[in-house]
Amino acid sequence: MVVQKVVLIPGDGIGPEVTSLTVKLFEAADVPIEWVTVELGEPAIKKYDDPFPEDALKTIKKYPVIFKGPLTTPVGGGYRSLNVRLRKELCTYAVVRPAKSLPVDWLYTDVPRYKNVDLVIVREATEGLYSGVEHFVKVEGEEVIAAETINVITRRASERVIKFAFEYARKNNRKKITAVHKANIMKTTGGLWLEIFYEIAKKYPDIEAEDRIVDNMAMQLVLKPQEYDVLVTTNLMGDILSDLASGLIGGLGVAPSSNIGDKYAIFEPVHGSAPKYTGQWKVNPTAQMLTGTLMLRYMGLNEKAELIEKAIFKTLNEKKKLTYDMCRTLRYAGIADLEPVSNKEYTEEIIKNLKELM
């Protein structure tokens, strides 16, 4: 098999843990990847006093596929999101987040309506309320009297991501796209987004097109997620709804994601760096691992992806060694009171199952 080079950004917080465990699993599965490690975030600050060194970007841009752990963004102040910056630099304009129930029955015992969820959220990733165009408004002296963040919706970026969603639907045999917006209140930005959505929808008569106001959408997703197929939405709304959708399928510990552009693709889980758990080796690495299998499929390594997924699902179904979040679900569902194991032990168990399947 041809060995392909992939950029590995371990990230910070829990990132280095979940990425290193995924790399270990991939090695056990003989995945033909050579990793090119690039540090951003906390490790880069420690070494270079810069969370996003120019040289790091140069290296990243040499390779089309990037496998990334989460990166912390300081809240309220500090440097701007490295994740948003990376997506912009590489123009990976479509965040594609499949929210599909896992073939693990006990995960949905407590809430059976989440059992057959199979939806994909396509989120615009370069503008909207994450445009970075924001400022404080001050009066004489230095008193801050207001703060403004500009919601940028351009025709070009909206067309690009909406077309992507329709093409994605066609390629993946999906039947319906729902545009999510708040055009009743944000009449200009939401209105333009919706207008473009229906213009493009006309070119795809084979796919049903509809729209929902975001607050209603949140309620519908919790109540009857099976009625939805592909959602396409703007940056902030997509960010929020995809965490919600992660909750439907078992939590952030199992939710994969990807950022796709014309030249580059970044694969990272939905979850963030969960700083409070750093160094404890307890968080669930499944989301990072399933993100890895999305990447393997993107690279044409479907058999490896399938093998790894089988080993993960076998481990979850066996309910012998699970991380704390999964044990909590088992307890809440009244199924078992299992003592959680570390994510290292959980990964060892997956590798043991993988070897049996190979």
End-to-end, the C-alpha distance of the chain in Å comes to 16
Closest by CA to 11, choosing from 48, 40, 49, is 40
Residues 158-217 that bind ligand NAD (CB under 6 A): none
- The binding track of 81-120 with respect to ligand NAD, each residue x by CB under 6 A or -, is --x-------------------------------------
Stretch near ligand NAD under the rule CB under 6 A, chosen from 106-114, 141-149, 282-290, 311-319: 282-290
Smaller CB separation from ligand NAD, 273 or 315 = 273
As to burial, measured by CB atoms within 10 angstroms (0-12 exposed, 13-18 middle, 19+ buried), residue 69 is buried
Q: Is 274 in the site for ligand NAD (CB under 6 A)?
A: yes
Question: Which residues carry out catalysis?
Answer: 130, 182, 215, 239
**133 with 154: CB under 8 angstroms?**
no
Which residue of 250, 253, 256, 340 would you call a contact of ligand NAD, by CB under 6 A?
A: 253
Q: Is 273 in the site for ligand NAD (CB under 6 A)?
A: yes
Name beta bridge partners: 148.
Answer: 135
SS3 82: helix
Compute the least distance from the CB of residue 356 to ligand NAD, in Å. 25
Compute the least distance from the CB of residue 211 to ligand NAD, in Å. 26
Q: Distances from the Cα of 304 to the Cαs of 257, 294, 298, 345, in angstroms? A: 18, 11, 12, 22
As to burial, measured by CB atoms within 10 angstroms (0-12 exposed, 13-18 middle, 19+ buried), residue 156 is exposed
- The binding track of 13-32 with respect to ligand NAD, each residue x by CB under 6 A or -, is -----x--------------
Which residue of 39, 124, 211, 268 would you call a contact of ligand NAD, by CB under 6 A?
A: 268
**265 with 65: CB under 8 angstroms?**
yes
Q: Is 72 in the site for ligand NAD (CB under 6 A)?
A: yes
Q: Distances from the Cα of 269 to the Cαs of 69, 189, 219, 246, 286, in angstroms? A: 7, 28, 24, 10, 9
Binding site for ligand NAD (CB under 6 A): 18, 70-73, 83, 252-253, 268, 271-275, 283-284, 287, 325
